[in-house]
Chains A and B, each alone.
Chain A
Amino acid sequence: MNYYDENDLGHFADVGKHRPDLFEKFMAWYQACQEDGALSRREKALIGLAVAHALQCPYCIDAFSQSCLEAGSHMEQMTEAIHMAAAIRGGAALIHGVQAHNSVNKVSM
């Protein structure tokens, strides 16, 4: 069995099989989040792409890469969004270096 198969994306609705009420609530919320609002669909798709990379979810990366193209973004913009995700992840790791410093300082003379 493959853990990740691109065709599985098309079977997302199967997740709602045993509790369709919960899945329908999720889908309504999920789709409403992506509509034009104070942020445009294009901006939201770029946020989705960045978050997908931060989470390293292959389904979301695939879906939001398509969404970005279909919202009119180009690869330069998408790459900047991916760098934002990577930079925040990198920064989040690095800031914890302060904790290491604190830990070391605590037991050091």
Chain B
Amino acid sequence: MSTALPVIQGDFGVHSSVAFDEKLAGYGLELHAAAIDTLQVNVGKLCNQACKHCHVDAGPARMEIMTRETAKQIIEAVRKFRIPTVDITGGAPELNPSFRYLVRESRKLASHVIVRHNLTVMFGPGLDDLPEFFREHSVEVASSLPYFLEHETDAQRGHGVFEKSIEALRLLNAVGYGIENSGLILNLVYNPVGAFLPPPQESIEADFKRELWSRYGITFNQLYTITNMPIKRFLDYLRRSGNEERYLRKLVEAFNPNTIDGLMCRNLVSVDWTGRLYDCDFNQMLELGVAPELPQTIADFDPVEFAHRRIMTGAHCFGCTAGAGSSCGGAVAAR
């Protein structure tokens, strides 16, 4: 229970960055990038699922997907600047015709490749070889599984998703993913199933490991806790359920200045399906591009110009700084 409940001023959206920037200033902080080590590629909004918390608003009816021409521009940037990590997301990125091209070419260039894989997509037509494809290219797999129980998982991701996800995890384990000393990394991603903050990453990871092993014989490497971001479909849910003000207040109240150094926007650049550049995937969904003084597209990208850049913020940034913080790699600080 709190003794002070600061309220976000004004409209909650890309136009209300003042509250976040003021909060930082109150701690003598500013948000600037460090060196860029990751290019996060969002290949589009097409997905076989339509999860209730999705900040992309992705789904089976979405038509916005990356062309081969844009994919080639990305690979050219990876080649030219020797980008250490290519993090491929969507939607379900495997549904994009250029997905395998991006993986193969990035790996040829010796970049580490992470795929944000939703598990169930491997049961779609022509995709049953995905575990083998991932293994062949030593891809790091990061898969969403909001809980180790069916009720919670299906409530967020749709009826029947839990059962399919468990089967997919078994198939990934079968080719070596998540198995000790295999070198094949399978990380799981936890999102709260509702309008509350994630539990401590270490304790919920222990629960997932114990429960998935004892119930299903499944193993994995790490669990990442990610805070639900109050934008797009999750914001719609907050509004429909009458939780918007309370959730936003909770994020602001839980602001933790120790998260700033570890925020993902400091080390990555996000590129959308058209080749436009952003400071993170959330800014991308809000169409809040990189600072106007910087190159705006992947064709003009230069990591030297992007290192130490000022990062565009919005009130949604409170989602990444609440509690232990939140990033594509999970919690970023002690609470």
A residues near B, CB below 8 A? 9-10, 12-13, 16, 23, 27, 30, 40-42, 63, 66, 69-72, 74-76
Main SS at interface, chain A: helix
Q: How far is the CB of B53 from chain A (nearest CB, A)?
A: 14
Asked if B4 and A71 sit within 8 Å, CB to CB, the answer is no
Q: Give the residues in chain A near B152, CB-CB below 8 Å.
A: 74
**Contact in complex: A74, B147 (CB < 8 Å):** yes
Contact (Cβ within 8 A) B249 A69: no
In the complex, how many angstroms separate the beta carbon of B115 from the nearest chain A beta carbon?
A: 27
A10 adjacent to B249 (CB under 8 Å): yes
Can you give 26 contacting A-B residue pairs, CB < 8 Å? A10-B249, A12-B2, A12-B3, A13-B2, A13-B3, A13-B4, A16-B3, A23-B3, A30-B1, A42-B199, A42-B203, A66-B196, A69-B192, A69-B196, A69-B199, A70-B197, A70-B198, A71-B199, A71-B200, A71-B203, A72-B199, A72-B204, A72-B207, A74-B152, A75-B151, A76-B149
The 6 closest A-B pairs by CB, nearest first: A72-B199, A13-B3, A72-B204, A10-B5, A69-B196, A70-B197
Residues 149-190 of B, flagged 1 when their CB comes within 8 A of A and 0 if not, give 101100000000000000000000000000000000000000
B257 at the interface (CB under 8 A from A): no
CB-nearest residue of chain A relative to B148?
A: A74
Task: Tell me, yes or no, whether B262 is within 8 Å of chain A by CB.
Answer: no
Size category, B interface: 20 to 34
Does B194 count as interface, using CB distance less than 8 angstroms?
A: yes
**How many whole Å from B218's CB to the nearest CB in chain A?**
18
**B1-35: which have CB < 8 Å to A?**
1-5
Task: Find chain B residues with CB under 8 A from A74 CB.
Answer: 147, 149, 152
CB distance from B312 to the nearest CB of A (A): 29
User: A72 and B192 in contact (CB under 8 A), knowing A10-B5, A27-B3?
Assistant: no
Q: Given the complex, which residues of B lie within 8 Å of A72, measured CB to CB?
A: 199-200, 203-204, 207
A10→B196 CA distance, assembly (Å): 16
Given contacts A10-B5, A16-B3, 19 further A-B pairs with CB under 8 A are A10-B2, A12-B3, A13-B2, A27-B3, A30-B1, A40-B203, A41-B200, A42-B203, A66-B196, A69-B196, A70-B192, A70-B198, A70-B199, A71-B200, A72-B200, A72-B203, A72-B207, A74-B147, A74-B152
Cβ B194 vs Cβ A69 within 8 A: yes
B4, closest chain A residue (CB) = A13
Chain A residues, Cβ within 8 Å of B2 = 10, 12-13
Nearest chain A CB to B325 CB, angstrom units: 14
Interface residues of B in 243-257 (CB under 8 A from A): 249
